[in-house]
Amino acid sequence: MIDSVLEILNGHMLPWLPIFRDALDAEYGERPRIATLATVDAEHRPRARSVILRRIDDNGALWIVSSAHSEKNGQIRQTPAAELVLYLPIAREQFRLFGPAGIIGRVDDEAARQAFWATLSDAARASFYWPTIGQPANNDSAVPAALPPDTPVPDHFELIRIQPIQVEHLTTAALPHRRTRYRQSTAWQPEPINP
């Protein structure tokens, strides 16, 4: 009951949120939601890479896990903004979500770090015990393939949180294509724009 009331309220307050969630559920089911995360580096150049969108909160916050040693974490610490883009090939839809971004590390929210660590697959957990990301590779070193949930959370395991202030939804399955923009600054009212 409370859940359905919350869902209706969120659909009203963040009209893009149920559309985004339903589209991801239909496209991916239980499979990983692969997204492209764009950040800005110290020379103001755009950088982008694939990530897994791990969680979407009822307030629209988007969560990704990452290493403190990765470039994206340093870039977000320096320039705390990001855009996440998802293309859904079956539905032929694109979502672009832009907003302030932050890093949640050991000193920020240990409970959240522990909670995300527990939800990772054993293989994803193991990747955080591989040699330091981005350093020159020595392919001789053995790496763990899987680690259980009770493995200690390494200090460099961090969370990235993006709070969208602008969302764009493009559907290309039928003509004419449809593009709708939602902005916090205009109370999230859907704005149809040319695709």
Ligand X SMILES: Cc1cc2nc3c(=O)[nH]c(=O)nc-3n(C[C@H](O)[C@H](O)[C@H](O)COP(=O)(O)O)c2cc1C
Asked if 113 is part of the footprint of ligand X (rule: CB under 6 A), the reply reads no
Name the residue among 153, 154, 131 with its Cα closest to residue 142: 131
Consecutive H or E run containing 65: strand 62-67
In the block, tokens 């949640």 appear at 104
Q: Does 162 bind ligand X (CB under 6 A)?
A: no
Q: Does the footprint of ligand X cover residue 64 (CB under 6 A)?
A: yes
| Residue in the block written with tokens 């493995």 | 151
Binding to ligand X in span 15-34, by CB under 6 A: 34
Binding part of the chain for ligand X, among 10-18, 42-50, 80-88, 89-97 by CB under 6 A, reads: 42-50
- For position 134 contacting ligand X by CB under 6 A, the verdict is yes
Q: Does 70 bind ligand X (CB under 6 A)?
A: yes
Quick one: which of 141, 143, 118, 140 has its CA closest to 129?
Answer: 143
By CB under 6 A, name the one of 19, 23, 24, 51 that touches ligand X: 51
Q: Does 72 bind ligand X (CB under 6 A)?
A: yes
Judged by CB under 6 A, the number of residues near ligand X is 14
Q: How buried is residue 99: exposed, middle or buried, by Cβ count under 10 Å (0-12/13-18/19+)?
A: buried
Cβ(94)–Cβ(85) below 8 Å: yes
Residues that bind ligand X (CB under 6 A): 34, 47, 49-52, 64-66, 70-72, 133-134
